Structure 1
Amino acid sequence: MKMTSLKMKKILEDRLSNPEYNTSYNRDKDTFRVEWKETKKGMAITIPNVVGKYNQRGEDAIIELVEHVTEALRIMNEEHQLTGMEKNIFPVIRATSFPTETKAGEKLICRDHTAETRVYYALDLGKSYRLIDEPLMEKEGFSLERLNEIATFNLRSLKIDMKKDRVAENDFYFVAHQDGYDASRILNEAFLEEMKANAKGELAVAVPHQDVLIFADIQNKTGYDILAQMTMKFFAEGRIPITSLSFIYDEKKLEPVFILAKNRPEKQ
């Protein structure tokens, strides 16, 4: 049976039925909105996107969406504080195109990272996290310097396991703990320096999406092409895409590298 927007709307109405929620459907935009009755805080779901995911993954796509929406609404309705929660503050990497304000117009706390990426700060709440905005930071009397110091310290405490692949005489390393902070580990300077010291060739780094960090020990020209294809594939598949560009790490700096995939290795 073919899934349509109206059928999906009905499924979402059923699955997100809650006496404390209001739901509405915008036919023109083909969006479904869920919000708290009392505060009117909520979110809009673009139905064609859900239909597309349903056609690819079936029932799992709907289950995942309902869990995500329910958790997001719960967080919106809670009061949060930073004091006493310092161990739960972490940095997160986002694309420079990512919004710098919340939907309510509050400024999100962030700092520049590279020409392609920006660092935001998150309060970890278990199953999800909330990005820290200016009102929350100022209410607690935190400064950006203090927030960054705490987040960086916590990041260094995260374990780093890697899977290694060797392709066309180049070594590729993948960090994928699926804890929400895989890409954030690019901010662990001691780890980057260790990878650089052990690299036989040039060290390249990529953060195509939030849940993966890729290192490439590039030992010939083919390595750049393989990394470019790999990064593009991960970028296209990621739940929270960051950048399809990779970076050369040298002298404690990350410089975007533009690679044209001319030398694709032939399929065996």
Structure 2
Amino acid sequence: MEVRELRRILEQRLERDEWQLTYDHKESTLRIEDKKQKKGMTIALKPLAAKVEQQKEAAIDETVRYIEVGMEAMVKSVTVKGKEKTVFPVIRATSFPTETPDGKPLIYDEHTAETRVYYSVDFGNSYSLINEELIEKEGLTAKEIREMALFNVRSLPQHLKEDTVAGNTFYFLNTNDGYDASRILDESLLEKMAKKAEGQLAVAVPHQDVLLFADIVNERGYDVLAQVAFQFYSQGRIPITALPFLYEDGELEPTFILAQRKPKQS
């Protein structure tokens, strides 16, 4: 689909009295902003157009829903106290901004060379990232937010789907609750999968809504893992990293040349 046609469709579907839509011809981006709050989001149309070519109307529907939910979250009043059980960690790429559009520093922690951990208050169908100003106002610390989030993520369901390719076993967690990738922070889950693995355990968080484990027993497994991780990464609404990790001794190690890595001996 051409960018021009995609722009027309999105502008029609996103028309609201309370929103201002602005198109940047040079960057091929569409800005959606709340007229009163002066807050909004910017959508890059070129990569979205490529995604629409593959996924058709579903990609447009998903994008519209993402914008609607995101805009709703921006204008909501956010509090942590009284909502401690709705605080969750959010995995993002290291390229993700470390402050809000209006310049407020976000609460975050470094995770791996590819990922960071941010923290959010969940609203059910949307969430808002927690910034420093919010916790200062409520008399909380970043440590307290971190402890809440890591405790809560361990309570989430861990329904894994299993598939075997060339003797290698792949496990997929995809509940679409917004925190599938966040479950990589559950050390008990990682340890459980490591004990279950007959070969080398690899982990991937290609986008927000999937967590992938791979029990690699031969070199073909690394090739398949690379292909699957990249496919998920290219299709994800909020991509994180196409680079899988090896899990060894409680540590996640980014793996660049998968086919050349040797599985551990059982």
TM-score by length of 1: 0.88
What's the CA shift for 1:117? 1.2
Larger Rg: 1
Give CA-to-partner distance per residue, 1:14-54, whole Å, 9 cap, x none: 32332222333333433333322223222233344444444
**Deviation above 6 Å: which 4+ runs of structure 1?**
none
Percent identity of paired positions between Structure 1 and Structure 2? 51
Unpaired stretches in structure 2, ≥5 consecutive residues:
262-266
1:24 is aligned to 2:22: yes
Partners in 2 of 1:229 and 1:51 — Cα distance? 22
Of 250, 253, 256, the residue aligned with 1:255 is 253
Shift of 1:76: 1.6
Could you say what secondary structure the match of 1:226 adopts?
helix
Q: Secondary structure at the match of 1:120?
A: strand
Q: Which amino acid aligns with 1:136?
A: L
Post-superposition offset of 1:109: 0.8
Q: 1:24 to 1:255 in 2, by over 3 A?
A: closer
Compute the RMSD of aligned alpha carbons: 2.2
Q: How far is the alpha carbon of 1:4 from its aligned partner?
A: 4.9
How far apart in 2 are the matches of 1:6 and 1:174? Answer: 36
Q: 1:255 to 1:43 in 2, by over 3 A?
A: closer
Q: Distance in 2 between matches of 1:166 and 1:7?
A: 41
Q: Which runs of 5+ in 1 are unaligned?
A: 264-268
One of 236, 239, 242 as aligned partner of 1:238 = 236
Pick from 184, 187, 193 the counterpart of residue 186 of structure 1.
Answer: 184
Contact 1:173 1:214 in 2 (8 A): yes
Relative distance call for 1:28 and 1:255 in structure 2 (3 A) is closer
1:59 and 1:203 mapped to 2: Cα distance?
Answer: 36
* Residue of structure 2 in register with 1:121 after alignment: 119
Contact 2:89 2:149 in 1 (8 A): yes
Q: Are positions 1:137 and 2:103 aligned together?
A: no
**Counterpart for residue 73 of structure 1:** 71
Per the alignment, residue 228 of structure 1 pairs with: 226
The equivalent of 1:153 in structure 2 is: 151
Contact 2:172–2:213 (CA under 8 A) maintained in structure 1: yes
What CA distance in whole angstroms lies between the structure 1 residues aligned with 2:63 and 2:222? 36
Do the aligned partners of 1:225 and 1:262 also contact (CA within 8 Å) in 2? no
Once the two structures are TM-superposed, the CA of residue 259 in structure 1 deviates from its matched residue by 2.2
Whether the aligned pair in 1 keeps the contact of 2:89 and 2:120 (CA below 8 Å) is yes
Q: Which amino acid in structure 2 is aligned with residue 33 of structure 1? A: R
Contact 2:219–2:259 (8 Å) recurs in 1: no
Tell me the matched-pair count: 261
Task: Assess if the C-alpha contact under 8 Å between 1:232 and 1:244 holds in 2.
Answer: yes
Q: 1:260 to 1:171 in 2, by over 3 A?
A: closer
Length-normalised TM-score, structure 2: 0.88
Cα separation, partners in 2 of 1:227 and 1:82, compared to 1, 3 Å: same
State the partner residue of 2:264: none
- Structure 2 matches for 1:54-65, cutoff 5 A? 54-65=52-63
Q: CA deviation at 1:246?
A: 1.6
Superposition pairs for residues 81-96 of structure 1, below 5 Å?
A: 81-96=79-94
